[in-house]
A and B are shown apart, each in its own frame.
Chain A
Amino acid sequence: EVQLVQSGAEVKKPGESLKISCKGSGYSFTSYWIGWVRQMPGKGLEWMGIIYPGDSDTRYSPSFQGQVTISADKSISTAYLQWSSLKASDTAMYYCARQDWNHVYPFDYWGQGTLVTVSS
């Protein structure tokens, strides 16, 4: 069974750093892209970026380039999304999702989401 399991909810202060994770199982982790999607409170879905764990090829949405860093450790089938200095506006639910290597299909499996709250 394909699963993407994300790390738990986080409460941070502005200026702090954070790294959240997404662990894949039930499939070949290095053969699919992992994307990250933001959902601010009461709002829609925003694509942030995507990584291919097989070779760490990473692409970012222009809206998020320079704001976050996406990485992966294929030895433990885990992708990451990290911030070096959080802002209150980073408060949101963050989802990871899987896409086929040739991007013929959309996101077919999603993680359960990680809620990030940034507040002083």
Chain B
Amino acid sequence: EIVMTQSPATLSVSPGERATLSCRASQSVSSNLAWYQQKPGQAPRLLIYGASTRATGIPARFSGSGSGTEFTLTISSLQSEDFAVYYCQQYNNWPSLTFGGGTKVEIK
């Protein structure tokens, strides 16, 4: 099974600042990597798929990069509504669809 490791576990950022989240796969997942955002009491929401393609309706301040085993989600200028938990997920090794442990982005 592919293990997905996210870092850091918690990221403290001030509104308007940039946030950089990392996700590492234990073996190559090509570009089959997604990022989700989850706010308290809500279901996860797809942000990025194919490592770098924004899902429908996702603001341009969210960007994804990477391939193989190293991936990054960048939020260019944090808005109040962006404080949430972010998960990466690989879907290359289907039907195994493993998630990372999550990164909580909190207000500094």
- Residues of A at under 8 Å CB distance from B? 35, 37, 44-47, 50, 59, 61-62, 95, 97, 99, 103, 105-108, 110-113
Q: How far is the CB of B106 from chain A (nearest CB, A)?
A: 15
Complex contacts, B98 vs chain A, CB 8 Å: 47
Q: Are B95 and A50 in contact (CB under 8 A)?
A: yes
Q: Are B44 and A95 in contact (CB under 8 A)?
A: yes
Specify which of B1, B87, B99 lies most central, judged by the most chain A CB atoms within 10 Å of its CB: B99
Q: How far is the CB of A88 from chain B (nearest CB, A)?
A: 23
Instruction: Assess whether B102 is interfacial by the CB under 8 Å rule.
Output: yes
Complex contacts, B46 vs chain A, CB 8 Å: 106-108
Q: How far is the CB of A94 from chain B (nearest CB, A)?
A: 11
Q: Are B1 and A106 in contact (CB under 8 A)?
A: no
Q: Are A44 and B97 in contact (CB under 8 A)?
A: no
- Residues of B at under 8 Å CB distance from A? 1, 32, 34, 36, 38, 43-46, 49-50, 55, 87, 89, 91, 94-102
Closest partner residue, chain A, to B38 (CB atom):
A45
Q: Are B34 and A106 in contact (CB under 8 A)?
A: yes
A37, B87: Cα distance in complex, Å: 13
Q: Are A110 and B87 in contact (CB under 8 A)?
A: no
The answer, among A47, A99, A105, A112, for a CB contact under 8 Å with B96, is A47
The answer, among A44, A61, A97, A99, for a CB contact under 8 Å with B100, is A44
